[in-house]
Structure 1
């Protein structure tokens, strides 16, 4: 079982920032971007692998690189860092027009992750409960997909979100623009966990990973 490591406040560079955005000015922010996925989508056309699973794995890979996106709170309310976080992602039930939330353990090997995650899409496509596997583990972060529409802005309005330090991702429909393919991506972030610099770095890491699919796909 994964156990978070408490952060030493005396040596943590973000100690004051964390306290400010947790207590004095508690807030979240969202960023919506278009990620260049031209090479990624071209590679997927030659692969039997599922696009959505690959998107989820890529997000989980860059999230797990950075401790600010693996933050949580201990029972006493102090910041801690999970050693690994796992993606929880939506599965649409077309007949009922509802969705379920499933999760798969993160694996740095994409093939192993795909073998575990892809069957969940088929297995739970007809799910009638919100969490057919039971509740996700505490070290999970959320990914949603809106493949029916591209978007240029997306914001979640969460009541009392100030203990939720994990990022939330929303994926849109691919957009073709000239000879490029773009993926709309919205990221919801707790400001106590990460600043704009950290989120921009995360997105840049994601774009770099998707630009070199031959290295992992």
Structure 2
């Protein structure tokens, strides 16, 4: 599918309620933070099984839909100005079992689940045998997702040496585990503090939990 260039809006820093926090965490005290939590996916797994979907792309869609609902996770610097993209595409890692390496692919985000899955499948087919880190140039408007499906972790942190003005968030999901009546999937979120605070991460997590709880409503109504 042909990529349509994402539009954006500029942030008027003079009137922005977070202008002081942005300045401090961007320049004076460059800072990001990570948070790991666990999401109940007890409604997600049977829905996937009943409809013949794969777990990873469904979770990518749910995370992407949650990210695109919140401006704090769509910010970037462009031509020296702070902007908010209209939408951001997920860059996600896929494993090459024969080499134990991975590639980072990008599926065009679409709120419609059927169209998103078509985009995801198209990318996977085109780059199935490509072992490069980036089989194609990633878009400017992006965020990051990776998976460690072999480990049920309690904490995960990415140590980025220099992420100056790199505001795209990163998500890492792990092996899910049954606990009482819940099936809990660990998810680690890393953000740049210049554009994102704890309250914004909490809001995104609440959105993702809502989508996982009501997956049949938000997906099946579209297919």
Distance in 1 of aligned mates of 2:88 and 2:125: 23
Distance in 2 of aligned mates of 1:122 and 1:3: 28
Verify: 1:26 aligned to 2:30, yes or no.
Answer: yes
Distance in 2 of aligned mates of 1:201 and 1:135: 31
Distance in 2 of aligned mates of 1:185 and 1:119: 26
CA RMSD between the two structures: 1.3
Distance in 1 of aligned mates of 2:124 and 2:55: 12
- For 2:9, the equivalent position in structure 1 comes to 5
Distance in 2 of aligned mates of 1:147 and 1:121: 19
Verify: 1:17 aligned to 2:15, yes or no.
Answer: no
- Aligned partner of residue 10 in structure 1, secondary structure: helix
Verify: 1:90 aligned to 2:93, yes or no.
Answer: yes
Distance in 2 of aligned mates of 1:122 and 1:207: 30
Equivalent positions of 1:37-76 (< 5 A) are: 37-76=41-80
Distance in 2 of aligned mates of 1:184 and 1:40: 14
CA contact (8 A) 1:141 1:166 kept: yes
CA contact (8 A) 1:171 1:185 kept: yes
Unaligned runs of 5+ in 1: none
- Aligned partner of residue 116 in structure 1, secondary structure: helix
CA contact (8 A) 1:73 1:79 kept: yes
* Closer, same or farther: CA 46–56 of 1 in aligned 2, 3 Å: same
Distance in 2 of aligned mates of 1:122 and 1:153: 33
User: What's the TM-score, normalizing by structure 1?
Assistant: 0.95
Following superposition, the deviation at residue 118 of structure 1 comes to 2.9
Distance in 1 of aligned mates of 2:96 and 2:128: 5
CA contact (8 A) 1:40 1:211 kept: yes
Offset from partner CA, 1:40-99 (integer Å, 9 cap, x none): 1121121111111010011111111111110000222x2111111000101100000000
Following superposition, the deviation at residue 124 of structure 1 comes to 3.4
Following superposition, the deviation at residue 140 of structure 1 comes to 1.1
Distance in 1 of aligned mates of 2:85 and 2:58: 23
Following superposition, the deviation at residue 120 of structure 1 comes to 3.3
Count, aligned residues: 215
Partner of residue 100 from structure 1, selected from 103, 119, 122:
103
- For 2:133, the equivalent position in structure 1 comes to 130
Following superposition, the deviation at residue 119 of structure 1 comes to 4.3
Unaligned runs of 5+ in 2: none
- For 2:121, the equivalent position in structure 1 comes to 118
